[in-house]
Amino acid sequence: MKSAIIGIAGTQLSEAESRLLRSHAPAGVILFARNIGNPKQLAGLVAALRRDLPEESVLMIDQEGGRVARLRPPHWPALPAAADLADREAALLHGTQLGRICRQAGFDVATAPVLDLAWPGASSVIGDRALGAEPDRVATCGAAIAQGLMAEGIIPVMKHLPGHGRATLDSHFALPRVTAGLDELAADFAPFIANQNLPWAMTAHIVYTALDDRPATLSPVVIERVIRGMIGFKGILMSDDLAMKALSGSPADLARATLAAGCDIALYCPGDEPGNQAVLEACPPFTRKLR
């Protein structure tokens, strides 16, 4: 099983994708709106993926609530954005409902909670996905969302370490540079420190100039000194999508660089067959437990 999670192209598993999963088994597959039509179709796709993937691999969905929801009405209930959750009790209910939706749809992992702070003047890419601007509130409500997810048997993924909230550019389209000093960044780190014992986390494609001139995803300095050191996270560390425009380079080179920097899993989401094959061929076997 390779140290990568990949996307697939459409609502059905193609013969080529099936062969690739069997020959270069990834640690998991992530699904998006392009893969989901209705419950019957999704159940068939999940069954096909389970057939071709190793038993220990995972099925992941990018599902937070609000505008980041791949399971949507009319087939699945809508959940509010994180910014609309009033308190810890509401966050716990949100996590429980989110976990139930994901579990019933056949998933193992959901990429939530977002523990980035809502900073004035920042890019809207985080926006109402953030639980607030106060580190204590974000930490407490984020922990409650994760608790609700885990109560339903879903692995949470906190994101985006060590903090995406200050970015003034959307890392889907450009590389943000955060110039805050280390003392200022302590506020961004705080929700992650409070949740350091969660099982999975995702990195940010952001340059923190006080730490390194490389994006966090590709920086051994940020991963070893901050994420593993100051934050104290010891769980499964996954990159954000390597196909985002914040990063430059081939999928294979980025996957190698991500793992060399200290991530456990390279995430590659677009679902294109050449990119998937290149990433899987570039990644070594995964040696940790996923669950």
Is 160 among the residues known to form the active site?
no
Span 2-282: which CATH code?
Answer: 3.20.20.300
The answer, yes or no, to whether residue 237 has pLDDT greater than 90, is yes
Q: Which residue has the tokens 């640690």?
A: 27
Q: How confident is the model at residue 268 (pLDDT cuts 50, 70, 90)?
A: very high
pLDDT of the residue at 291: 85
The predicted structure's pLDDT at residue 149: 98
Q: Are 171 and 240 in contact (CB under 8 A)?
A: yes
Pull the structure tokens for residue 289. Answer: 């437990």
Catalytic member of 240, 241, 253, 264: 240
> Are 172 and 164 in contact, with CB atoms under 8 Å apart?
no
- Break the chain into its structural domains and give their ranges: 2-282
DSSP secondary-structure letter at 239? -
pTM: 0.96
Q: Provide the 3-class DSSP secondary structure of residue 159.
A: strand
**Average pLDDT across the chain, whole number:** 97
The pLDDT of residue 103 is: 98
**Torsion over CA: 256, 244, 207, 60 (sign):** negative
Give mean pLDDT, residues 119-129. 95
Classify 40 as helix, strand or coil.
Answer: helix
Q: CB of 21 within 8 A of CB of 53? A: yes
Choice among 128, 172, 253, 272 that is catalytic: 172
Confidence check: pLDDT of 123 > 90? yes
Question: Above pLDDT 90, what percent of the chain?
Answer: 99
pLDDT tens, residue by residue, 42-87: 999 999 999 999 999 999 999 999 999 999 999 999 999 999 999 9
Average of pLDDT values for 156-166? 97
Region class of 210: left (phi > 0), else alpha (psi between -120 and 50), else beta: alpha
Q: Comparing C-alpha atoms, which of 280, 251, 262 is closest to residue 215? A: 262
Q: State both tokens at 257.
A: 């660089």
| Model pLDDT for residues 182-233, shown as the tens digit of each residue | 999 999 999 999 999 999 999 999 999 999 999 999 999 999 999 999 999 9
| pLDDT attached to residue 119 | 96
CA dist., res. 198 & res. 211, Å (int): 24
Annotation says 240 is catalytic: yes
For the cut 90, the answer to whether the pLDDT of residue 145 exceeds it is yes
Give me the amino acid identity at 44: G
Kindly give the pairing relationship between strand 109-110 and strand 155-161.
Answer: parallel
